[in-house]
């Protein structure tokens, strides 16, 4: 019995992980250091991430597509080395407000509103989870939501022609793009006050859908997207018509759905 108890004690002493007390003050100091390194575009911030950290990124595109990306801390650190010089060149900085700290043993979940100074949007879902060990804090999880387009109010605001051209330039670089398994966004273009999206239904042959049937299925979806997506709604509010044209896999037009300001009331 004595031998067994001795083995158990040795196991606990050598293999258990002590729970280190964490204060909000030291967690705040760590997060502040992260912010300062980010503002300086200092790649040494990569050392704050654990190799096995879970990094989650959610990307929202102006035409309604959303994509989720996950990677390890090790992969994220490699990406940071490549991305920091580009971010510095573009002046891609963030501000953090409404910061809160939820302490659970030796881990802290930090939540904040992350505001992009470059693109003028707020990520209200941002969070970071840090863990304290004998060497200090490390980031073990991080979540952020991003978008390629800018929400900044520009000199073009109120000038529909310039607003439409800006929207076109923001999207064109991502095309062609698979929106889902059945639909490819091929091009966008401007005709007067109309902003046109042209899609191909890659698995639909000629004659499978008529215009009325397809419009009945798709119009409610595109109406909700157009009226609720901030960038599209801003175009509509400025007087633009958003047109969605769907072609079959052979390039023959099936239907065009048009949405304007009156439809979003």
Which position has the higher pLDDT, 132 or 206?
132
Check whether residue 126 and residue 244 sit in a common domain: no
CA distance 157 to 150: 12
Query: pLDDT tens, 90-127?
Result: 888 899 999 999 999 999 999 999 999 888 889 999 99
Is residue 1 one of the residues assigned to a domain? no
- Band the pLDDT of 5: cuts 50, 70, 90: low
For 200, the 3-state DSSP assignment is: strand
Domain finish residue from 94, 111, 146 = 146
For residue 202, give its domain range. Answer: 160-264
Res 238 pLDDT > 90: no
Which residue reads 């959303």 in tokens? 66
Query: pLDDT tens, 139-197?
Result: 999 999 998 877 775 545 557 887 888 778 778 777 888 888 889 999 999 999 999 99
Mean pLDDT of 209-237: 84
CA distance 171 to 240: 17
CB 241 within 8 A of CB 195: yes
Residues 6 or more apart whose Cβ sits within 8 Å of residue 217: none
- What DSSP element (H or E) covers 227? helix 211-228
Number of domains the chain contains: 2
pLDDT of residue 155: 42
Distances (CA, A) of 143 to 50, 72, 84, 85, 123: 15, 12, 18, 22, 10
Is residue 92 one of the residues assigned to a domain? yes
Helix axes 230-237, 211-228, angle to 10 degrees: 100
Check whether residue 103 and residue 184 sit in a common domain: no
The pTM (predicted TM-score) of the whole model is: 0.58
CA atoms within 13 A on the CB side of 205: 0
């Amino acid at each position: 019995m004595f031998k067994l108890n001795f083995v158990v004690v040795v196991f606990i002493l050598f293999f258990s992980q002590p729970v280190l007390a964490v204060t909000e003050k030291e967690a705040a100091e760590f997060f502040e250091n992260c912010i300062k390194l980010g503002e300086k575009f200092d790649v040494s911030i990569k050392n704050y991430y654990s190799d096995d950290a879970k990094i989650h990124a959610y990307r929202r595109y102006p035409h309604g597509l959303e994509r989720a990306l996950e990677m390890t801390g090790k992969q994220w650190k490699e990406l940071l080395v490549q991305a920091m010089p580009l971010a510095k060149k573009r002046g891609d900085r963030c501000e953090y407000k409404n910061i809160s700290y939820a302490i659970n043993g030796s881990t802290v979940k930090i939540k904040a509103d992350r505001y992009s100074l470059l693109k003028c949007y707020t990520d209200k879902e941002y969070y970071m989870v840090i863990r304290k060990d004998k060497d200090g804090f490390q980031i073990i999880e991080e979540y952020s939501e991003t978008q390629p387009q800018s929400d900044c109010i520009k000199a073009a605001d109120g000038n529909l022609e310039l607003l439409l051209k800006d929207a076109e330039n923001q999207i064109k670089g991502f095309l062609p793009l698979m929106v889902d398994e059945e639909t490819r966004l091929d091009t966008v273009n401007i005709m007067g006050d109309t902003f046109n999206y042209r899609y191909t239904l890659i698995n639909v042959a000629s004659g499978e859908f008529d215009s009325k049937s397809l419009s009945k299925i798709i119009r409610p979806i595109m109406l909700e997207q157009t009226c609720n997506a901030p960038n599209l709604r801003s175009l509509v509010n400025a007087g633009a018509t958003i047109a969605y044209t769907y072609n079959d896999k052979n390039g023959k037009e099936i239907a065009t759905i048009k949405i304007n300001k009156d439809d979003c009331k």
